[in-house]
Structure 1
Amino acid sequence: MNYESGVIAEKGEPITVGIEDEPLEFEDSQRSSKRRLMIIGGLVVLALAIAAYFVMRGGGTTTPAGDENAQAPTVTVVTPGQTTVDGEITATGTFSARREMPVGVVGEGGRVVSVPVDAGDWVRQGQILASIDRSVQSQQAQSAAASVQVAQADANLAQANLDRALQLVERGFVSTADVDRLTATRDAAVARVRVSQAQLRELRARNARLNIVAPASGLVLERNVETGQTVGAGSPPLFRIARGGEMELQARLSEDALSSIKVGTTASIRPIGTDSTFTGSVWQVSPTISQQDRQGVARIALPYAPGLRPGGFATATIASGTVVAPILPESAVLSDDEGPFVLIVNGEDKAERRAVTTGTVTSKGIVITEGLTGSERVVLRAGGFLTEGETVNTQLAKLD
């Protein structure tokens, strides 16, 4: 046993710790020091966090009401005013011949022996479009011509007999009754000549109708017959001709638009799929409105041009006088499911949605036909990034 570690005290005396207990006391001291350092470090971190919070909150002060505008976004606005512009109405429609002439069989019909024209050809009035076999009719015409000759011979004989009787009646060789009989015979013979001649002319006219001819000069749009085909009076039209080659665009318009158009109004036509434009004029405004779609038709006459084909689709821009309305740049006009609209800044400097009706697009911008008076402050750009009711600062811009 090691007696150097300490002496056991008697009852009532203090205990003296030996050399072996000193390391335990040193370890407890180190633990206490670490604990104090951790507590102090935590307090420092908490203090820094509280300080940072108050810095971010501006030292714990409340932003004055007057500083709200300082934090609001700045937008550029315009006051469009009123501008006088030429009114225009845009419509769509299809091309057709202004005066289309269907040409069919007008005679007895028969087998087609020749078709000298084709679709796309120009024809003159009276030109033969197709010929029908007339071999039987030609024989009938020859027979009728022979009948005319027979009747004429009978009439000549009757006239000669009458002339001789008139010479003999003065001498008393022929009675007046014989003269009357011969005169009647002569008149009947002359009448038979006329009948035969009429029958011949009828046959010749029927034969002439076997030639299908153009009723007027124009452009052949359709050819629906071929050589060898049998046609008759009940056959559908064999040809369709645009008289003079003139075309028209049948533009469909609403009731309001139709009421603002007059006969003689000019229009610019652009066929779909091309950059070419053609100038025409309204020659007829529909007197009725369709009950299905509440629209009418404005017929725009156009001279012949190779780019105008019946059945084609086109856009028409029709002049409709002058209008006084605001004009806005395209960047100011927005659109969504509810239709076109703009954002204006009201008297409280808050963004406000305003539904508008757009008109024609000019070199200066879009005409606003309804929704604005022109005195409003309209957001020029970035309207799509604003919400209705948002407070904004404004910067006024001038329109060119």
Structure 2
Amino acid sequence: MRYLWGLIIFCTGLVNAAETSMTNQTITIQPSNIPDWFIMDGRLEPIDQGTVSAQTSGRISAITVDVNDVVPAGQLLIEITNTSQSAGQDQAKAAVKAAEARYTDAERQRLRLVELVKKGSISKREYDAAATEAEAAASVLKQAKAELVQASENLGYTRIVAPYAGVVSARHVSLGETVSPGQPLLSGYAFENMRVVASLPARYVSQLKEDTPLQLTFPDGQELTLKQHQLFQFADPASHSFTLRANLPKQNTPVWRNGIWVKLAMPLATKPKLLIPESAVLRQNELSAVYLVTKNGYVLQQVRLGRNYDGQVEILSGLQSGETVAKDAYAVIATQGGHYAP
């Protein structure tokens, strides 16, 4: 056997089992059925986010928030000068009053002629003219009221309020700047409803079911179990993986922050694994080995390692079920008076 180990004293041959007397310090390898996970890198993002734009022209007269501010729903964000909009509303109100007066007079005249036409005092033609005038006055009144609604709406556009409770993520204008309809003002997102987004390789798609629980782990170690998720029906053309999204529970304050990276774990089918304690493994750079127990003593056996499971490590190759290894590889060296030097 050739290993790039450096120098390991007393490890080049067999160690006499009778001399070591460590029969109580060995472990016989047996397959273990333990849960397995596929771990993905995920990123938190808000479900609702967007940019507030100007819907009228004017000059920015007030900005009450800045980037990173947490705002409740309905809070005033930006105010635009409203001189022309207020004048337009006043003009529309005056037009409504004039139209109401005209309609009232025309309708009164029509009702007065109803009785007269029944008595034959006036001709039907005169009544029809009065009815037409009343109908025209009603149309003018309806149009005036619609223009008042539009003018009031334009006046309301001068006060930009938060559409939902959220965090301001960008500011696109400054105080005193003149804006026009469609110009972006502020960007933000709702912190109450967040979700994690990850990429699932195609080979694992068949193992993900509708009721498969996902385990979310934050950078600070906090864990959440997400029972609902959504898998896209199409693959990304560049990575050939599928987008996986899962909603987080609703939060009243921005605890889970937008854009942070997290770990999203998906349970896989349970398969038997060969596990040994971490203490049984000798490591040198990328090479690993264990002390295999034979009828003549210990012999160094190279192995390939897999994942760690709560103090135990998976053996991918180098050992078979039923073989026995030393629980503490470094104790074997110490018992023989040797030492390990990389």
For Structure 1 versus Structure 2, the TM-score category normalised by the shorter chain is 0.7 to 0.9
Matched with 1:145 is 93
Of 96, 109, 115, 2:45 maps to 96
Deviations 1:276-327 (A, max 9, x none): 4141415223444445445444334334365522222333444446443222
3-state SS of the aligned residue for 1:194?
helix
Matched with 1:60 is none
Matched with 1:248 is 195
Deviations 1:216-264 (A, max 9, x none): 3x3214141443333334333612122x523333334444455544455
CA distance in 1, matches of 2:142, 2:93: 12
**In the alignment, residue 309 of structure 2 is paired with which amino acid?**
T
Matched with 2:304 is 355
Measure how far apart 1:331 and its partner are. 3.5
**In the alignment, residue 133 of structure 2 is paired with which amino acid?**
T
CA distance in 2, matches of 1:85, 1:137: 70
CA distance in 2, matches of 1:252, 1:370: 29
Higher strand residue share:
2
CA distance in 2, matches of 1:260, 1:370: 25
3-state SS of the aligned residue for 2:218?
strand
Matched with 1:277 is 222
3-state SS of the aligned residue for 2:215?
strand
Unmatched tracts of structure 1, length 5 or more: 1-70, 387-400
Matched with 2:7 is none
**Is the contact made by 1:105 and 1:232 (CA closer than 8 Å) also made in structure 2?**
no
3-state SS of the aligned residue for 2:55?
coil
Matched with 1:81 is 30
Shift in alpha-carbon separation, 1:232–1:74, aligned structure 2, 3 A: farther
**In the alignment, residue 105 of structure 1 is paired with which amino acid?**
S
TM-score where L is the length of structure 2: 0.73
**Is the contact made by 1:342 and 1:378 (CA closer than 8 Å) also made in structure 2?**
no
Matched with 2:247 is 301
Higher helix residue share:
1
**Is the contact made by 1:280 and 1:302 (CA closer than 8 Å) also made in structure 2?**
no
Structure 1 position 326 matched with structure 2 position 274: yes
Tell me which moved more, 363-372 or 172-181: 363-372
Unmatched tracts of structure 2, length 5 or more: 1-12, 18-24, 334-342
CA distance in 2, matches of 1:139, 1:185: 30
Of 158, 166, 181, 1:219 maps to 166
Report sequence identity in percent: 22
Shift in alpha-carbon separation, 1:145–1:335, aligned structure 2, 3 A: farther
Matched with 2:312 is 365
TM-score where L is the length of structure 1: 0.64
Q: Which structure has the greater CA radius of gyration?
A: 1
Shift in alpha-carbon separation, 1:297–1:168, aligned structure 2, 3 A: closer
**Is the contact made by 2:61 and 2:176 (CA closer than 8 Å) also made in structure 1?**
yes
CA distance in 1, matches of 2:256, 2:209: 23
